[in-house]
Every structure is written in structure tokens, then in C-alpha cells.
Amino acid sequence: MRPSYALALVVASLLAAGPALAQAPATLAASPFFLAPPAPPNVPPTPLDDSNNGFHPIFNGTSLDGWEGDSRYWRVENGEIVGEVTPATLLKQNNFLIWRGGMPANFELKAEFKLTGGNSGINYRSEEIRGTKYLLRGYQADIDATDRYTGQNYEERRRTFLAMRGNISYIATGQKPAIIASLGTADELKAFIKNGDWNSYHLIIRGNVLIHILNGHVMSEVIDDDTANRKMSGLIGVQVHVGGPMKVEFRNFLLKELP
């Protein structure tokens, strides 16, 4: 198109719009984008949906079918997975009940827990340690009876503390986890934990982002770019811990795999 012809088209368009522009507010006519279409309406996010759509149970509520562990420590009782250490069965190393239904990579996991004494956790993207039995190494959504660690991301038998409760951490290859933002203080978030009662964990694990939500509140987040040490898929398991007698109960284990 010749420049003179293109200019003529622009002038013709402006002349045709003249009456409308004369009636437009001065601020609009003065805008360099006054011929642009109007902006779309603002659309807020949808409300919280706690319907568990897309999730499926990985514990049937009646037996440990699909799970593997030491029957001295793990059983089903009243529709719950129960892990218990007694004075007669004290541990020399941590012990896990392992889900054998797959090795999820990207997923959401929900579970309710109640802890009486001691320490526990939900492991994910984990691996069994060669030469041992019922011992996992990997990411853990931590649980402890004093609520010092509950909500944090602890990597069992590898890099240990990845994000304490209240922290968003970034991990570069070969570097220690670095705090990059705060979700609130550990004590502020502790107020949402129901000590000695039922609590709800919701883990969102996708790519290099690991989010721990407890009772509807984000407790910790890890952005793991440590390609030498991170794991992108693995086993799910629950833990009883070395130390004194303890009891942990789990129910409503739900999994939704993500793209």
C-alpha cells in the first residue's frame, strides 16, 4: 500500500468518527488509545472449592491393601491408618508405611492426621534406601507433637530442612536453601494447628514447586531448582519416628494426579 493512500484511509476514519469524538469526554479523546476496544470486565478467582473433585482415595478405610509396612507398627482401626510405637517396640530408626500404588510426579495429596506424642510426617517423591526395609529418603510434610516443625518441608535423610514453617525457600543447584519471602511467623501459623486433634494436610506438588497447606493455610513453600539433588517423582509414605512411645492416625487419604 502506498504511504499516501494509507494516510488517506487514516484521515477518512478520523473524519468519520468526528461526531462521536466531539461527544466523548475530553479525557478519553486526549488518550492516545481512544480508539481501542474497552477493557474486559474484571473477573475475580472462583471461591475455594473443597469438594475434592478429581481426587480418588488411596486408602480404603478397612485394610492396608495397596500399602506395605511392618505390622508391629502399622494397622487399621476405626477406618484409620494407625502407626504406633509402644515401650515394647521402640525404634532404632524411623519406620514407614509405603503406598505401592505408584510413584506420582505432579499431584495434589490430601490427608487428615492426629498425633499423640513424638514425631511423624507424610513423605512424597521419596525412595527406599537400599539394604534397609521400610525406610524412605525424600521430601516430607512434617508433623510433631510440640508443633515446632509441623507444616515445614523436611527432606528425610538428604538435605534436611528445606523450608521452615512460615518460609518460602529457593534452592539452587549445589546451594543451601535460601529464604526469599515470608508467609507469616512460625508462631502466627502455629495458631492454625489443632494440637492433639484432627488436622488436614493439602500438598500441591508440581514441577519444582512444593506447597504445604495445613487447615487451609499455606505453611511452607519450596522452589527446588537443585537439579543435582531434587526428585521429580517417587513414593508416598507415612512415618513413625525414633524416640519414645507415640501414636499417629491418618484418614481420608486422597490423591489427584496433575499433568
Three-class DSSP category at 255? strand
Domains of the chain: 1-41 (no CATH), 59-257 (2.60.120.560)
CA quadruple 252, 94, 226, 171: dihedral sign? positive
- Fill in the amino acid letter for 80: E
In this prediction the pTM is 0.85
Binning pLDDT at 50, 70 and 90, where does residue 31 land?
low
Rounded Cα distance, 84 and 89, in Å:
9
pLDDT in tens, 91-139: 999 999 999 999 999 999 999 999 999 999 999 999 999 999 999 999 9
Rounded Cα distance, 202 and 109, in Å:
6
